[in-house]
Amino acid sequence: MLTNKIIVAAIAACFALNTAQVLAADMLTKLGKGEGQVDIVAWPGYIERGETDPSFDWVTKFENSTGCKVNVKTANTSDEMVALMNEGGFDLVTASGDASLRLVAGKRVQPVNVNLVPSWNTVDKRLQNAPWHTVDGVHYGVPYMWGPNVLMYDTRAFKKAPESWSVVFEETMLDDGKSSMGRVQAYDGPIHVADAANYLMYHRKDLGIKNPYELNEDQYKVALDLLRQQRKLVSRYWHDAFIQMDDFKNEGVVASGSWPFQVNLLQADKHPVASTIPQEGATGWADTTMLHADASHPNCAYLWMEHTLSSNLQSDLSVWFGANPSVPAACTDGRGMQNAAGCSANGLDDFEKIRFWTTPVSKCKTQVSCVPYYRWVSDYIGVIGGR
């Protein structure tokens, strides 16, 4: 009898041990020693070590204090990031909302134990449980940066800031006496369908759009029709930030959805542009640092996640990229170069007006079923092709 009990206890212990191991493999519960390096997939300009401009450096100090060498692979689009993560060999990715859920669905990223990130509590409350990185209450990452897709306009063609996105969707007579035909641009990515939906949400209440990323067939069709109408106004879609800036300078483009990044650079170049968030609100991006499912340097990765929230990174990156910190205190507490006025210029106060990029999925919350992302991809190629 005694032996039996011992055996049962031993088996139970084994099971318990196994479960604990499974949990440990699922999510780190305790930080160990750094592994000496961390490999990150990031947007260009997101991780600076003072090589582009010596005053923008948020890597060197981290490397010196933790001994984790930071290796960065830049990617230009969300789709590229997903592709790189699918290939593997990376620990972290700064994924936008239109990539993050795809990574979770593809099991390319693992849950993050926020207890191991001491500065988690300083993160903007509105971002802590954001749906683009929190699935069924499980956090799959730590918020990094966010920003709006602003309407950039040429101040010679607009006497005052345009009040509506209609300038890029409908032919308008501009203040310089010429039509907007051929002088506006739009983003060359399927996620732009959401900008059309956002516009319709305000102007066509009868369609009942609740969320520009959750469209049923009828709403989607109207959005595509709006984009087909836009195709007539647009001579070239923008894909590369620098080509867009060239088009504003040499191609007579006067209005387009854009990022604060281009606005800041063009203004620095004394080109007469300004930006605004019109009455309909705007779409925007909110990026999350996510941990690869098979990360080979998890300890360094956790240390980096903490570093992104607690160091000068949030503040200085906000200045560098024209984005907003996920830790609101970074705007004011002087940990870096950013100040309250700078954050306001980047759109910090417009948080409520912004509908952040999320991957459209068939099983959506506000409708019975929605048009999924892959349809957005092929249909948007068709719209640009004139179909």
Interface positions with other proteins (CB under 8 A): 76-77, 79-80, 82-83, 86, 102, 105-108, 181-183, 188, 234-237, 239, 243, 246, 249-252, 359, 361, 372-374, 377-379, 381-382, 384-387
Neighbours of 173 (CB within 10 A): 9
C-beta of 56 vs 237, nearer to other proteins? 237
SS3 for 24?
A: helix
Please report the sign of the dihedral spanned by the C-alpha atoms of residue 207, residue 373, residue 276, residue 335.
Answer: positive
Helix H or strand E segment including 42: strand 37-42
Q: How far apart are CA 334 and CA 312, in angstroms?
A: 9
Name the β-bridge partners of 345. none
Q: Position of tokens 């999924």?
A: 372
CB 253, min distance to other proteins, A: 9
Query: What tokens were used for 98?
Result: 């239109």
Rounded to a whole number of angstroms, the minimum distance from the CB of residue 97 to other proteins is: 15
Query: Minimum distance from CB of 235 to other proteins (Å)?
Result: 4
CA–CA dist 33, 31 (Å, integer): 7
Instruction: Output the smallest distance, CB 177 to other proteins, in A.
Output: 17
Place of tokens 């910090």: 348
Q: Specify the residue, 135 or 377, whose C-beta has the smaller distance to other proteins.
A: 377
Q: How far is CA 325 from the centre of its chain?
A: 12
Nearer to other proteins, 76 or 115 (CB): 76
CB closer to other proteins out of 120 and 380? 380
Write out the two tokens for 155.
């101040």
Smallest gap, in angstroms, from Cβ of residue 182 to other proteins? 3
Compute CA distances 115 → 66, 132, 208, whole Å.
Answer: 19, 20, 40
Which of these, 195, 223, 156, lies nearest to 281 by C-alpha position?
195
Nearer to other proteins, 188 or 316 (CB): 188
Tell me the torsion sign for CA atoms 62, 64, 65, 71: positive
CA contacts within 13 A on the Cβ side of 181: 4
CB of 272 to other proteins, least distance (A): 14
Q: How far apart are CA 303 and CA 77, in angstroms?
A: 26
Of 160 and 365, nearer to other proteins (C-beta) is: 365
Six token digits for residue 275: 């930006």
Taking the least distance from each CB to other proteins, the nearer of 196 and 343 is 196
Measuring CA to CA, which residue among 181, 219, 172 is closest to residue 200?
Answer: 219
Question: Shortest Cβ distance from residue 376 to other proteins (Å)?
Answer: 11
Output 36 or 252, the one with its CB closest to other proteins: 252
Structure tokens at 183: 């002088």
**Nearest to other proteins of 48, 379 (CB atom):** 379
Q: How far is the CB of 45 from other proteins (least distance, A)?
A: 18
Give least dist CB 106 to other proteins, A. Answer: 3
d(CA 281, CA 352): 9
Question: Among residues 68 and 273, whose Cβ is nearest to other proteins?
Answer: 273
The token duo for 312 is 């000068």
Least distance CB 124 / other proteins (angstroms): 28
